[in-house]
Amino acid sequence: MPVPVSENFHLININTGDRFRPGDVVSARIKAVLPNGRFRLHCNGRILTAKSSLSFRTGELIRGRVEQTDRGIFLHLLAGDSKGIRDSSSLEMPKTMLFAALLRAGLPFSGDAETQRRVALLNRTRGSQRRVARLYAELLAKGSDPGAAFLETVDRMLSDGGDGRGSKRWPSSPGSEELQGEFCGDSAEDSEMVDKSDTLLTLISNVPGKNDTWMFKRLIRQLGEGKLRIVWKIRHGMNPALALTVYDGERTFEFLLEGLEQTRMAVYAGGEVDIDEKRWNVFRETLALMNVNVDDTLLPISRSDGFTPGSDKVLQDLEGRV
């Protein structure tokens, strides 16, 4: 496993004499934020170095339960109503997420009254607030002004994917050419399988005069005994981007790419995911040869906005300013 795909701190300089027993609940304060997802913590009267995919600032207090696995000792963060327990999602207020989403969609900030209306709409919309905020901004960029119910419906189409009734079966994992044909989906067989939800996504994708905004496509296929749901989001224009989300049973993988000259990829995962570190390194090295720079950290799916890499940094930059 390259890094823990959960809200954990991996304690990377623990000595045998340190008193960290599995099951203990301890508090720690962030003393310093270091490069490459590392932090310096003050815990149990000493300074520790830890690694995490989460975002924190110097001075923040965290609380977690000590867990020991064959990969080392981890501090699993606890969230709740008790004072001093950091719930990372509670720090990302709807207004901040709205402004971050507008910024990433290339839209200007609106006046106070319009901002309050949009924030109220986000509060009424169910789903991951980070992802819904970005979807909302991208629909606004297409010239739409969706209500909460419509926004929720589109988000559900892109994440739930339907039940897959009547979907084609893949005898084995498809190659790139077969996937390209599936994505184009212009055969009579594919046309018969298009349901109302796919038609709505097609209408949203093909807005006249909005060729540089996002288009959406999804695919549901039977593979072996399981079912795969694949969602593509593609942005054309001067700064192209691709978001590929794969739902494989309870597991979710998301690959976010952006840029043409220097393409960056961030990889997110959710559910029970265990990836061999050697395979992860081969994956990154293979894409590096294709001029695609893959972030070294495998991130939890909760940190993705579903469109482009870098949402954490934008939110950090905006915190305290809006």
The separation between CA 273 and the C-alpha centre of its own chain, rounded to angstroms, equals 15
Residue 206 has pLDDT above 60, yes or no: yes
Predicted local confidence at residue 163, as pLDDT: 53
Q: Which residues of 242-261 are buried (b: 16+ CB within 10 A; e: fewer)?
A: bbebebeeeebbbbbbbbee
Q: Tabulate helix, strand, coil % of the chain (nearest 5).
A: 30, 30, 40
Predicted local confidence at residue 80, as pLDDT: 42
Q: Which residues contact 174 (CB under 8 A, 6 or more apart)?
A: 182
Residues forming a β-bridge with 98: none
Following CA atoms 208, 264, 156, 118 in sequence, which dihedral angle do they give, to the nearest 10 degrees? -70
Predicted local confidence at residue 19, as pLDDT: 65
Residue 147 has pLDDT above 60, yes or no: yes
Neighbouring CB atoms inside 10 A of 31's CB total: 16
Please tell me the distance from the alpha carbon of residue 2 to that of residue 285, in angstroms, as a whole number. 14
Q: Which residue has the tokens 């000792």?
A: 73
Max intra-chain CA distance, the chain: 68
By C-alpha distance, which of 232, 258, 265, 254 is closest to 305? 254
Predicted local confidence at residue 28, as pLDDT: 84
- Taking only the tens place, the pLDDT of each residue in 269-296 is 886 777 888 888 899 999 999 999 998 8
Residues forming a β-bridge with 75: 9, 66
Residue pair 312/303 in contact by the 8 Å Cβ criterion: yes
Write out the two tokens for 205: 């994708």
Residue pair 151/136 in contact by the 8 Å Cβ criterion: yes
Could you tell me the pTM of the whole model?
0.68
Segment (H or E) for 299: strand 299-300
Per cent of the chain over pLDDT 90 is 22
Amino acid present at 158: L
Please tell me the distance from the alpha carbon of residue 154 to that of residue 156, in angstroms, as a whole number. 5
Please tell me the distance from the alpha carbon of residue 165 to that of residue 171, in angstroms, as a whole number. 17
Predicted local confidence at residue 293, as pLDDT: 93
| Mean pLDDT value across residues 107-118 | 88
Please tell me the distance from the alpha carbon of residue 173 to that of residue 191, in angstroms, as a whole number. 22
Q: Which residues contact 23 (CB under 8 A, 6 or more apart)?
A: 65, 66
Residue 196 has pLDDT above 50, yes or no: yes
What's the pLDDT band for 188 if we cut at 50, 70, 90? very low
Q: What is the dihedral sign for C-alpha 183, 187, 193, 199?
A: positive
Amino acid present at 26: V
Residues forming a β-bridge with 74: 10, 67
Residue 139 has pLDDT above 80, yes or no: yes
